[in-house]
Structure 1
Amino acid sequence: MNTTRVRTVPGPEAPVGTGTGERPGNRRQTVVKVLWTSVWLFYLGAPVTDLVAGGHSTGVRILGCLGLTAFVAWYLVLLFRTGHRASTARLLASVGVLAAQALVLSVCLGREWLVLFVYVSIASGAALPARVARWTVPGATALLVLAALSVPAGGYYLAGLVVPALLGGFAMIGVREMLRTTLELREARATVAQLAANEERLRLARDLHDLLGHSLSLITLKSELAGRMLPDHPGKAAAQVADIERVSRQALVDVREAVSGYRRPTLPGELAGARTALAAAGIVADLPVGPELPVDPDLPELPEEAESALAWALREAVTNVVRHSGARRCTVRLAARQTPAGPELELSVADDGPGAGAVVPGNGLAGLTERLAAVGGTLSAGPSAGGFTLSARIPLTPLGSGS
């Protein structure tokens, strides 16, 4: 990713596009980084001045120019190294070559060349891993001190060079760590966003399966019923068509609410829908009655999330009864039970259909299991005596406790 990188000490970084010591990714990044690096080469004015007006012979000047050119070239090669995958040993050897060049030039040409060690310290902090650079920066500074004590009047330059060498090198280490942390945070943010998107897609797929599976099954049944009634009972067929229109409109509303994330089905509403679906399929419905949940009022309250999970379970179970069971009767029960772990509410949907063999979980049962697990509930489904039974259990949250 392309991010802004700003340097505050003599260093190699381009302000945009490339990381510390990383190879530029395109021509623009290369140009910007070269320009940014060239600014800090201004501090090489002391060695250049010494070559021009330092009283050296022509041969020494030529060798000095070649040495300085080689130093700058190696410095740039180190900073523009072949990507961040270069081995630590290779980088350490490169810094060693740079330090050797600085040492030879300083000892041979004089104190004005001691500034090269500042570049060695900064290059080691910018290019080497932090665990290595924390030793090489003080090492480059110590080599600076030794070189200064070895040249005439070099001690006068120590006060102006030791502090920049230490601060510049460690500043590069800090900048590298800051950039690394920033990149890791951005990658973590991208991962979280991707996980959130995946979770939303899963929620939408689960809701659409439950919503459309139920509604389309009901529409299919009523369409078949209307087709059979049409020749002899056109009035009853018209009533079935009106029901189809109502279910279709409600399905559209449900889908829109599911997409928006606001839909929260309730048990009373799903019980009413189950009664309609079972009646349309010609199945006798034995369901709880009453506008309120048929639960003992002395028991703890049922959280909204738990009720929603049970409502989805009821819808999926009734849809399966209508579509697959071939049953003549369907019984739905809501019962509160006391377990060692605390009170729980159990929803059971049983039919007297021919039954099935081994249960093969599909999208519906998998989605229900996930919904119930999210609120601490469990799901069981399988053949029973004379039919098939699905049971969903939800723990009841005591009043006053967090749900």
Structure 2
Amino acid sequence: MTEDPTAAGARPETQVRIGQGPHGRRELLVKVLWIGVWLVFLSSPVGDLAGGRHTPAGTVAGAIGLTAFVATYLALVFRQMGQPFSPRAVASLLAVLAVLAPVLMYCLGLEWGGLFVYLSVACGATLPLRAACWAIPGCGLVMYLVGLRWGAYAVDDLLPLVVLIGFAMVGVGQLVRTTVELRKARATVAQLAANEERLRLARDLHDLLGHSLSLITLKSELAGRMLPGHPDKAAQQVADIEQVSRQALVDVREAVTGYRRPRLAVELAGTQVALTAAGVAAEIPAEPDLADVPGEAESALAWALREAVTNVVRHSGADRCAVRLARRQTLDGPMLELAVEDNGSGGGSGGFGNGLTGLTERLEKAGGTLEAGRVKHGFRLVARVPVAPAGDVGSGA
């Protein structure tokens, strides 16, 4: 089973998602409060306007300029949390802030120097890293130069704050981008896991139903031929069909739940039944000792045997099939080798079909390999899986 992509990010009702727009009234309120805290630097410009130090025209112009500055800043910051503006729109809004901040400070006094804090924050939050590294010190320099009109010493305390907060916002922006990328990567991993689970299920169903339905078809045809003259034998074939159908249903259920691990000994016995029913002379080895064979390796060999026998019955047209099981010492270590060879045509198609492709994937997961192809007198499939060092396992004739 795959993990729900939203499971790891649980408690959405109690967490504010970084790098995403607000989802719901509560998240909107939290983000508004967080942005509102940083509007404290507007207290000086507002106090300056309320103090009556300027002419009525200057006060009105200052109020309009401050309103335009705050509206532009909030629009830029709020949209950057959700669906960002295009680069051209961001540059235009930053240009508005970059014009209003020095103009208002130059015309109305040092109390308006706090606007450069918001300009620096906006640059750090919206610009690419390299551009922000130039724009933030530039904000501090412009503030210092404008402050010369009123006495540069008066902005000495604010200058480090403008630069530090701007670069801090660059770090926050990097964190947000990293969080967004990690969220996308997690969703991708979840999708890949779901695809892998679908592939596993498709392989299992192909191998299970292909084998079982082929056997059912053969026994049904055999029962039909026996029915007129040998009803007792036909009834036996029908009973076998019922048994195979019930086992196929059990196998499918186990495959769907992910717990199926076919056993090689069971598949060897089933191979004898399937080949005999198809009129193929079978050479099957005795039940091997698999005590030192990992479960995954045994399962992969069992699937290989099932797929090979299904192909023999359905496609080869063979009348003889030999199954051999032996241990081999290779450069990669001891291997358990399963060989299935028939004297048929091999189906007459080049390349691997879905069954052999899925089988190759199974064996690779167990550290094994698959070889399949035409030989001089038929078709041969060889599957190998690694095992722990042990004595040779005798192969049956």
TM-score calculated relative to the size of structure 1 = 0.81
Whether 1:182 and 2:173 are equivalent positions in the alignment is no
Give secondary structure in 1 for the equivalent of 2:327: strand
Identity %: 60
Q: Is the 8 Å Cα contact of residues 325 and 353 (structure 1) preserved in structure 2?
A: yes
Paired residues for 1:208-227 under 5 Å: 208-227=205-224
Partner of 1:192: 189
Whether 1:290 and 2:281 are equivalent positions in the alignment is no
Q: Which amino acid aligns with 1:312?
A: W
For residues 171 and 224 of structure 1, do their structure 2 counterparts lie closer, same or farther at Cα, with a shift above 3 Å needed? Answer: same
Whether 1:62 and 2:60 are equivalent positions in the alignment is yes
Could you tell me how far 1:40 is from its partner in structure 2? 4.5
Give secondary structure in 2 for the equivalent of 1:209: helix
Give secondary structure in 2 for the equivalent of 1:150: coil
2-structure distance, mates of 1:17, 1:388: 59
Partner of 1:47: 45
Give secondary structure in 1 for the equivalent of 2:339: strand
2-structure distance, mates of 1:182, 1:286: 60
1-structure distance, mates of 2:38, 2:182: 30
Partner of 2:239: 242
Q: Which amino acid aligns with 1:307?
A: E
Partner of 1:148: 147
For residues 272 and 53 of structure 1, do their structure 2 counterparts lie closer, same or farther at Cα, with a shift above 3 Å needed? Answer: same
Q: Which amino acid aligns with 2:140?
A: T
Deviations 1:159-193 (A, max 9, x none): 3x335423432332222111111111111111111
Give secondary structure in 1 for the equivalent of 2:130: helix
Q: Is the 8 Å Cα contact of residues 18 and 179 (structure 2) preserved in structure 1?
A: no
Could you tell me how far 1:198 is from its partner in structure 2? 0.6
For residues 168 and 217 of structure 1, do their structure 2 counterparts lie closer, same or farther at Cα, with a shift above 3 Å needed? Answer: same
Q: Which amino acid aligns with 1:332?
A: V
Deviating above 6 A after TM superposition, structure 1's stretches of 4 or more consecutive aligned residues are: 1-4, 15-18, 24-36
Match of 1:327 among 302, 318, 324: 318
For residues 379 and 291 of structure 1, do their structure 2 counterparts lie closer, same or farther at Cα, with a shift above 3 Å needed? Answer: closer
2-structure distance, mates of 1:330, 1:141: 85
Q: Is the 8 Å Cα contact of residues 363 and 369 (structure 2) preserved in structure 1?
A: yes
Deviations 1:310-354 (A, max 9, x none): 111111111111122222221111122233443333211122235
Q: Is the 8 Å Cα contact of residues 312 and 346 (structure 2) preserved in structure 1?
A: no
2-structure distance, mates of 1:108, 1:181: 41
Which structure is richer in relative contact order (CA contacts within 8 A, separation 6 or more)?
2
Runs of 5+ unmatched residues, structure 2: 391-397
* Cα RMSD for the two superposed structures: 3.4
For residues 115 and 185 of structure 1, do their structure 2 counterparts lie closer, same or farther at Cα, with a shift above 3 Å needed? Answer: same
Partner of 1:10: none
For residues 382 and 51 of structure 1, do their structure 2 counterparts lie closer, same or farther at Cα, with a shift above 3 Å needed? Answer: closer
For residues 387 and 64 of structure 1, do their structure 2 counterparts lie closer, same or farther at Cα, with a shift above 3 Å needed? Answer: closer
Could you tell me how far 1:77 is from its partner in structure 2? 5.1
For residues 16 and 357 of structure 1, do their structure 2 counterparts lie closer, same or farther at Cα, with a shift above 3 Å needed? Answer: closer
Partner of 1:103: 102
Q: Which amino acid aligns with 1:342?
A: G
2-structure distance, mates of 1:56, 1:383: 98
Give secondary structure in 2 for the equivalent of 1:253: helix
2-structure distance, mates of 1:267, 1:337: 18
Q: Which amino acid aligns with 1:145?
A: Y
Deviations 1:104-141 (A, max 9, x none): 22222222112221221122122222332233223222
Q: Is the 8 Å Cα contact of residues 315 and 346 (structure 2) preserved in structure 1?
A: no
Whether 1:252 and 2:249 are equivalent positions in the alignment is yes
Whether 1:309 and 2:306 are equivalent positions in the alignment is no
Give secondary structure in 1 for the equivalent of 2:329: strand
Partner of 2:343: 352
Could you tell me how far 1:17 is from its partner in structure 2? 7.8
Give secondary structure in 1 for the equivalent of 2:229: coil
TM-score calculated relative to the size of structure 2 = 0.83
Q: Is the 8 Å Cα contact of residues 144 and 155 (structure 2) preserved in structure 1?
A: no
Q: Which amino acid aligns with 1:222?
A: K
Q: Is the 8 Å Cα contact of residues 335 and 347 (structure 1) preserved in structure 2?
A: yes
Runs of 5+ unmatched residues, structure 1: 5-14
For residues 247 and 376 of structure 1, do their structure 2 counterparts lie closer, same or farther at Cα, with a shift above 3 Å needed? Answer: same
Whether 1:269 and 2:271 are equivalent positions in the alignment is no
